[in-house]
Amino acid sequence: MSIFTGAGVALITPMHEDGSINYDEMERIVDYQIENGTDAIIVCGTTGEASTMTHEEHIETIRACTGMVKKRVPVIAGTGSNCTKTAVYLSQEAEKAGADGILVVSPYYNKATQNGLKKHFTTIAKSTDLPMILYNIQGRTGVNILPKTIAELSKDVDTIVAVKEASGDISQVAEILALSEGRIDLYSGNDDQIVPIVALGGKGVISVLSHVLPRETHDMVMKTMAGDTSTGAELQLKYFKLAKALFIEVNPIPVKAAVNMMGFNAGPLRMPLTEMEEGNKKILRQAMEDAGIKVTE
């Protein structure tokens, strides 16, 4: 059974001006997302700036998020690390905090071999009863989880049930689905590839675009899954420019700016990320307005 089907939002972490986490605004954003069709909340991922959180903040943010969601949709906690022991700890704490699943990125910087990846993910999976989504994003980690490795993990470890595939390689997506023979769910990790990935058999997307277009991103997935690929493709192309603009600078710089433009208080970024350049902010604002989003800032 899938952890979720549709569009899950890769949630930002709102901050106060002093850099502390703004839980009140997080709850406001979570409610907005659920009320507008988002199918899952992914907390403490890349977009949530988890890499700059202390372990205590990381765990408290997961706990706070599950309390806000109140089981209305699944909460999936990012618990990955380049240290297997740390990832085990965060995953176990996420289970205690009430998460419904974990998202575990491949180890960054260390650049493990494929055998190392299998041992890493297997160790984490066996430390908790939560279902695991592997996260493959070579552009950030320096290593590609090969389709054969994903297929073997899905066969050997019952709780490894899905992969967020952000390689950008549609052939790799097809190979993963072919080799895993239905044992693993696949979610797009790229908002500009939702429809082709779902058309191949993907279960949806873990999305940045959902922050600004939750209903439309949900509809893009569900229309395509229902066989209405023409409407799905129409939505994909309609919002293509905005999906690209949300990555005009490194994520989550643009999406935090976009959420602020919508009237939420996303607050500042934690260093080493810096505020969006004015020229790029103008491009993002125009893309949002072209997509029919009311910009208040």
Q: Which residues are catalytic?
A: 135, 164
Q: Is the torsion defined by CA of 36, 39, 41, 47 positive or negative? A: negative
Locate 244 and state its tokens. 């690209």
H or E element that contains 77: strand 75-78
Q: Is 228 helix (H, G, I), strand (E, B) or coil?
A: coil
Q: Tell me, what DSSP letter sits at residue 135?
A: E
Distance CA 97, CA 63 (A): 5
Alpha-helix runs per DSSP H in 160-277: 170-180, 194-199, 214-225, 229-238, 240-245, 253-261
CB 186 within 8 A of CB 151: no
Q: Is the torsion defined by CA of 45, 47, 52, 54 positive or negative? A: negative
H or E element that contains 114: helix 114-125
